[in-house]
């Protein structure tokens, strides 16, 4: 049994190569261990004090979000809540203020739950994760990272140091919506994210849609093409319901999930298009237009 | 039988340093209540759902039931007992009593912690902001309305 607090990435990588597991906010790892989901790893390295991983860098090619940036940081961030609104829609829905205060983007991504709220937004935004170990650094598309529920292709000695998002194209934006039975402290019953680019005539020239909690991992809807907003929304809804492979559990039946994920996908396309057209829909979209909206 | 392995750490709670020897997996809540002896912080669900265990870590709310005590070393921990110096009531405490926001009282310490974090971030919250700020705290008695009123009264008093 050991517990080590890392202050630098190098300290953390050394601990990982010696067999320790990382704990950031602990809101998956510690909560899961207390439930008996998996025992707490005997050797832990706390990474939450590595200051350089707590930063958001805006560059010419996009934005680099450090792995320790919290959901609270994201929901408050001026650039992320506007230009990368779909991601902020997801982070702002996570748990309660305390969950968002401790829960990190890196932890959400590496925990690889098919119900994770930042997953489908990151996928449609074209995110890449940067994994680092004492052996070197690699970057991979986020969809390649997730190999199954709770599983990633990262090696045990690799630390997720950052998530890279490319600069959005002009006249583009994103949105994420989840179906929930109450307005806070929920897990997505299903969810959908969309990123769209508008042409000069207001139609959609490029679209990506990804789905939450309807497959073993976050999945991208394939086969979508541009068109009017209404047509793309309808096509996304139909394709989402068709391509989803949901399970039945205590939260929802597979049929209900298959139907509602289409509804969420259509609405996400419409909201992303409104944002891309310059309309300010505040984060999280759920509170503005979704299930559980105030009015 | 061998003793469970312990780690010696110093926890700073309400401005005082407490040296404790604890196992790696001990939760902060248990150490605050048992080793340190401050029982204002409550255990409800032990699952980050109810908020009875809420404390501040460097001024931000955290569910102490599921936070590793060893991970809290070197950080400022504030429990409900530390909201104000001994024998004085925090305006939130006074107002939650006066507004009738306390019935059984079990959720109250966690509510006070979340409310104080909210008001330090947002001194002029809307009712919706208050409800979001308290969304990690369950109350089975009051129906929340009087708790929201107490937070709003505190905010208004503070603005003068
Ligand atoms: C009450 C409650 C409500 C929640 N609600 C939601 C919700 O609505 N939506 C949602 O998506 N999630 C939710 N979660 C889950 C959790 O809060 C998030 O997934 C959070 O982002 C996890 O981050 P963390 O820093 O706490 O991760 P940790 O628990 O510290 O780590 C999670 C896993 O990732 C690994 N890990 C962490 N950081 C790294 C890194 N940088 N590199 C490599 N591996 C790493 C850890 O070893 C561990 O296996 C909730 C949790 C709770 C307790």
Residue B66 alpha carbon, nearest atom of ligand 1 = 53
Looking at residue A294, what is its pLDDT? 53
Instruction: For B13-60, write each residue's pLDDT tens digit.
Output: 999 999 999 999 999 999 999 999 999 999 999 999 999 999 999 999
Q: For chain A, how many structural domains are there in total?
A: 1
Are A31 and B71 in contact (CB < 8 Å)? no
Residue A181 belongs to some domain of the structure: yes
Q: DSSP of chain A, one letter per residue?
A: -EEEE-SSHHHHHHHHHTTPEEESS-TTHHHHHHTTSSPPPSEEEE-TT-GGGG-EEEETTEEEEETT-BHHHHHH-TTHHHHTHHHHHHHTTSSSHHHHHH-BHHHHHHHT-TT-TTHHHHHHTT-EEEEEETTEEEEEEHHHHEEETTEES--TT-EEEEEEEEPPPTTEEEEEEEE-SSSSS---SEEEEEEEEE-TTSSEEEEEEEEESSSSS-EEPPS---B-HHHHHHHHHHHHHHH--PPP-SS--HHHHHHHHHHHHHHHHHHHHHHHTT---PSPHHHHHSTT---
Residue B32 belongs to some domain of the structure: yes
| Domain end call among B26, B51, B82 | B82
Whole-angstrom Cα distance, residue A116 to residue A124? 14
| Domain end call among B61, B82, B103 | B82
Residue A295 belongs to some domain of the structure: no
Residue of A nearest to B62 (CA): A98
Q: Say yes or no: B77 and B104 in one domain.
A: no
Ligand 1 contact, B45 CB (< 6 A):
no
Residue A156 belongs to some domain of the structure: no
Residue of B nearest to A47 (CA): B71
CA A111–ligand 1 middle distance (angstroms): 6
Q: Say yes or no: B27 and B48 in one domain.
A: yes
Q: Considering just the CA atoms, what is the radius of gyration of chain B in Å?
A: 16
Q: Using CA positions, which residue lies closest to atom 33 of ligand 1? A: A111
Question: Mean of the per-residue pLDDT values for chain B?
Answer: 96
Ligand 1 contact, A116 CB (< 6 A):
yes
**Cis before residue A284, ω within 30 degrees of 0?**
yes
Predicted model pTM: 0.97
Residue B109 belongs to some domain of the structure: yes
Which of B10, B48, B72, B112 is most worth mutating to test chain A (most A CB atoms within 10 A of its CB)?
B48
Ligand 1 contact, A199 CB (< 6 A):
no
Residue A245's domain is classified under what CATH number? 3.30.390.50
Residue B1 belongs to some domain of the structure: no
Domain that holds residue B129: 91-159
Q: Say yes or no: B11 and B74 in one domain.
A: yes
Residue B136's domain is classified under what CATH number? 1.10.150.120
For a ligand 1 pocket test, name from A12, A73, A111 the mutation site with the most ligand atoms within 8 angstroms of its C-beta.
Answer: A111
Instruction: For B51-96, write each residue's pLDDT tens digit.
Output: 999 999 999 999 999 999 999 999 999 999 999 887 889 999 999 9
Residue ranges for chain A with pLDDT beneath 70: 290-295
Instruction: For A10-23, write each residue's pLDDT tens digit.
Output: 999 999 999 999 99
Looking at residue B3, what is its pLDDT? 65
Residue B44's domain is classified under what CATH number? 3.10.20.30
Looking at residue B79, what is its pLDDT? 98
Instruction: For B109-127, write each residue's pLDDT tens digit.
Output: 999 999 999 999 999 999 9
Looking at residue A184, what is its pLDDT? 86
Q: For chain B, how many structural domains are there in total?
A: 2
The yes-or-no verdict on residue B4 having pLDDT over 80 is no
CA B136–ligand 1 middle distance (angstroms): 16
Nearest CB to A26: which of B23, B66, B117? B66
Domain that holds residue A192: 172-287
| Domain end call among B82, B99, B131 | B82
Ligand 1 contact, A27 CB (< 6 A):
yes
Looking at residue B2, what is its pLDDT? 62
Looking at residue A290, what is its pLDDT? 65
CA B81–ligand 1 middle distance (angstroms): 29
Instruction: For A20-37, write each residue's pLDDT tens digit.
Output: 999 999 999 999 999 888
């Amino acid at each position: 049994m050991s517990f080590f607090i890392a202050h630098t990435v190098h300290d953390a990588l050394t601990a990982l190569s010696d067999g320790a597991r990382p704990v950031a906010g602990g809101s998956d790892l510690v909560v899961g261990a207390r439930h008996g989901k998996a025992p707490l790893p005997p050797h832990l390295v706390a990474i939450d004090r590595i200051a350089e991983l707590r930063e958001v860098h805006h560059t010419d090619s996009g934005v680099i979000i450090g792995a320790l940036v919290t959901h609270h940081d994201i929901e408050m961030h001026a650039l992320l809540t506007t230009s990368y609104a779909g991601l902020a829609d997801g982070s702002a829905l996570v748990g309660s203020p305390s969950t968002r205060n401790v829960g990190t983007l890196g932890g959400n991504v590496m925990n690889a739950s098919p119900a994770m709220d930042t997953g489908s937004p990151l996928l449609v935004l074209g995110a890449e994760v940067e994994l680092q170990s004492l052996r070197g650094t690699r970057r991979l598309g986020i969809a390649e990272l997730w190999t199954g529920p709770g599983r990633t292709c990262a090696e045990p000695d690799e630390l997720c140091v950052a998530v890279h998002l490319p600069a959005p194209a002009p006249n583009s934006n994103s949105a994420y919506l989840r179906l929930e039975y109450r307005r806070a402290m929920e897990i997505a019953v299903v969810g959908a994210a969309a990123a769209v680019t508008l042409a000069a005539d207001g139609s959609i020239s490029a679209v990506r849609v990804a789905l939450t909690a309807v497959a073993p991992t976050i999945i991208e809807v394939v086969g979508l093409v541009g068109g009017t907003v209404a047509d793309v929304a309808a096509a996304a809804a139909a394709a989402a319901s068709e391509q989803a492979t949901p399970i039945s559990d205590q939260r929802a039946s597979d049929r209900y999930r298959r139907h509602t994920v289409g509804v969420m996908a259509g609405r996400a396309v419409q909201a992303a298009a409104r944002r891309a057209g310059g309309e300010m829909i505040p984060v999280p979209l759920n509170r503005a237009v979704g299930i559980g909206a105030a009015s | 039988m061998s003793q469970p392995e312990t780690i010696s750490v110093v926890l700073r709670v309400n401005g005082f340093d407490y040296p404790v020897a604890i196992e790696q997996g001990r939760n902060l809540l248990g150490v605050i209540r048992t080793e340190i002896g401050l029982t204002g912080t409550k255990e409800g669900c032990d699952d980050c759902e109810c908020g009875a265990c809420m404390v501040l870590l460097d001024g931000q709310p955290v569910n102490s039931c599921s936070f590793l005590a060893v991970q809290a070393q070197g950080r400022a921990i504030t429990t409900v007992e530390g909201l104000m110096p001994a024998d004085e009531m925090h305006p939130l405490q006074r107002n939650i009593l006066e507004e009738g926001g306390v019935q059984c009282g079990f959720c109250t310490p966690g509510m006070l912690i979340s409310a104080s974090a909210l008001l330090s971030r947002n001194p002029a919250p809307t009712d919706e902001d208050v409800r979001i700020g308290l969304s990690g705290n369950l109350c089975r008695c009051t129906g929340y309305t009087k708790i929201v009123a107490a937070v709003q009264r505190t905010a208004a008093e503070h603005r003068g």
